[in-house]
Amino acid sequence: MKPTYVVVGAGVIGATTALRLAETGAHVTVLDAEGPCAGTSSTSFAWVGASALGLWDYFEINVAGTAAYRRLQAELGPLPWHVANGSLVWYSDGGAQETLLARVAELRDAGYPAALLTPARVRELEPALKLADTVEQVAFYSDEGYVLARAMVADILLLAEQRGVTTRFGARVTGLEPDASRPAVVLADGERIEADAVVLCGGRWTSELARLAGATVPMLVPSPGSLDVGLLVRTAPIAETVSRMLLADDLMIRPDGGAHLLLHSDEHDRTVDPQSGPQALAPIAEDVVDVALGHLALSARPVVESAVIGLRALTTDYLPAVGWLPGADGIYAAVTHSGITLAPVLGELIAAEVALGADERLLRPFRHERFASAGTPTSAGTASIGETP
């Protein structure tokens, strides 16, 4: 008889995990209270990379994540939702430039593809850029890029369904019953689904799901100014071309399909109340556009098409939490801030642990057991959270 697994959550991690579990010969059911990519994954800047300072505590697994995208492409062919033409990073302040040079050297020492380009060369790559006179060098990370998350999840789930995965949307989980041999999921309508294992991929709802199993995954609670609150500003189409990830001072810029731009600013995140409605977000979004105009030479001011609050899936020590939940037999949970970067490799690693009983080295630093004796946050908490919502 085939093993059976239930995956709760149809975001990027849930989708890739379901696909890889199905490839082990198991029957897999994906449950989501809403629909595919309706939660955390849909409100991410969706950067794929490992260069940010705030991600150093899980640098190795982020590198593995970028490599897993290459394996996915070799397996599936061209991925229209994955753009991997590199990222450009620069700072206008002289002191910050020194930090950037040190970071490039550190990454090179770690074997990460990192180069320094002249402003002239950068303008050849991105003619719409407007670099301050104080910018002497720009970092270029050739392995990095971004994804269009909704399209990615749709494609991965379609492939998973072709390999036998059952997807059930509008299926809200209201109970979890741990059991070493046959854990079970209880739905809002009372239906009970047994499986050989249950994998929670609930993004920012992971803490709530874990509590249903009597377990604890401590996560940040959204509040004004907290690190788990991010603002994504999408513009209407512009006339100029921006083709890759740009990290300029405190602003992140990337294409978002059809000549749209997606903008994000750490500084402006701190001014956002997670309960804010469109009227409150509108002036903040216009301020973000003002910052963008300092870095882009455009023929007209971009029109704000949407401003959306994204709530990051952040544990209290800001690191991934992946593995079997202590005290909740048969229940596995995976949550991380870098879900887009890590999804392809997490799908592989989780499937190996759940279906094959492996103990994957890359996941060992991120086990849930660490929270039982947690003190202050690790060093990741003292740096930028990684410049992505």
Length of the chain: 389
- Is residue 149 within 8 A of residue 46, CB to CB? The reply is yes
Report the distance separating Cα 288 and Cα 97, nearest Å: 22
Indicate the pLDDT class of residue 138, thresholds 50, 70 and 90. Answer: very high
- Could you read off the pLDDT of 363-372 as tens digits, one per residue? 999 999 999 8
Contact 166, 30 (CB under 8 A): yes
Confidence of residue 96 (pLDDT cuts 50, 70, 90): confident
**Is the CB of residue 379 less than 8 Å from the CB of residue 339?**
no
Alpha carbon distance 358, 56 (integer Å): 25
Q: Which of 331, 282, 372 is nearest to 8 (CA)?
A: 331
Q: Is the pLDDT of residue 374 over 90?
A: no
Same fold, 4-45+149-220+315-382 and 84-145+222-311: no
Which of 321, 369, 331 is closest to 175 using CA atoms? Answer: 331
* Residue 213, CA distances (Å) to 18, 108, 333 in order: 21, 43, 11
Quote the radius of gyration of the chain (alpha carbons, Å).
21
- The domain made up of 84-145+222-311 has a fold known as D-Amino Acid Oxidase; Chain A, domain 2 (3.30.9)
User: If we measure between CA atoms, which residue out of 239, 269, 240 comes closest to residue 252?
Assistant: 269
Q: DSSP characters for 303-354? A: PEEEEEEEE---BTTSS-EEEEPTT-TTEEEEE-TTHHHHHHHHHHHHHHHH
10 Å CB burial of residue 290 (0-12, 13-18, 19+) is exposed
Both tokens of residue 256?
């978002």
The mean pLDDT value of the chain amounts to 93
The tens digit of pLDDT for each residue in 53-82 reads 777 788 999 999 999 999 999 998 999 999
Count Cβ atoms below 10 Å from residue 280 Cβ, excluding itself. 13
Query: 272 with 229: CB under 8 angstroms?
Result: yes
Q: Are strands 173-177 and 87-90 parallel, antiparallel or unpaired?
A: unpaired
pTM: 0.94
CATH architecture of 4-45+149-220+315-382: 3-Layer(bba) Sandwich (3.50)
335, 367 contact by CB (below 8 A): no
Q: Where are the chain's structural domains?
A: 4-45+149-220+315-382, 84-145+222-311
Strands 245-248 and 87-90: parallel
Q: What pLDDT digit, counting tens, does each position of 281-311 carry?
A: 999 999 999 999 999 999 999 999 999 999 9
151 pLDDT above the threshold of 50: yes
Contact present, 320 and 371 (Cβ < 8 Å): no
Could you say which DSSP state residue 174 is in?
Answer: E
196: pLDDT strictly greater than 90: yes
Three-state SS at 121: helix
Q: Which of 301, 285, 286, 153 is nearest to 232 (CA)?
A: 285
Chain-centre distance for alpha carbon 45: 8
SS3 208: helix
pLDDT, tens digit (0-9, with 9 covering 90-100), for 312-369: 999 999 999 999 999 999 999 999 999 999 999 999 999 999 999 999 999 999 999 9
Q: Across the strands, what pairs with 117?
A: 138
Instruction: Render pLDDT for 257-285 as a digit per residue (tens, 0 to 9).
Output: 989 999 999 999 999 999 989 899 999 99
